[in-house]
Amino acid sequence: MIGPYLTDTVVQNQFKGADEYGTPTTRDQVSIKARIDYKNRLVNNANGETVVSMAKLLVRPIDIIRASHSSRAAKSIAYEDTFTFDGMDHPVLCIGRIKSFSANFLMEVWVK
């Protein structure tokens, strides 16, 4: 049901791990359909800090990864991921689930 509304294509840069200095070692790029909603909003990030989000992405349901990043499925998301659209990388600030009208769930990803 939500498929026709996902009119934008974004690139998800999946975090796979970091070296001893904390810089990402490898990132897989996955192209996904989304709906970009440009709206400034205060959200709480994974650390509990209140930050300003510049956009919200609505995407189909995907798994949230909180631990081992090395063996990830293609349809997963982590707080260390970034999304590329409009020629810029946008880090993930907040991930949530919302219920659609047809008992399915959607993911809303707030990005910087």
Summarised one tens digit per residue, pLDDT across range 24-77 is 666 778 888 988 999 899 999 888 899 999 999 988 877 776 665 566 666 778
Domain count, the chain: 1
For position 91, which CATH number holds? 2.40.10
Confirm whether pTM is higher than 0.95: no
Bridge partners, 81 (sequence order): none
Q: Which residue has the tokens 């909603």?
A: 37
pLDDT digits (tens, 9 = 90+) for 69-98: 566 666 778 888 889 998 899 998 988 888
Higher-scoring residue by pLDDT: 84, 15: 84
Q: Please report the pLDDT score of residue 26 as a whole number.
A: 67
Q: Which domain holds residue 18?
A: 3-111
Position 107 pLDDT exceeds 70: yes
Cα-Cα-Cα-Cα torsion 90, 41, 7, 16, nearest 10 degrees, comes to: 30
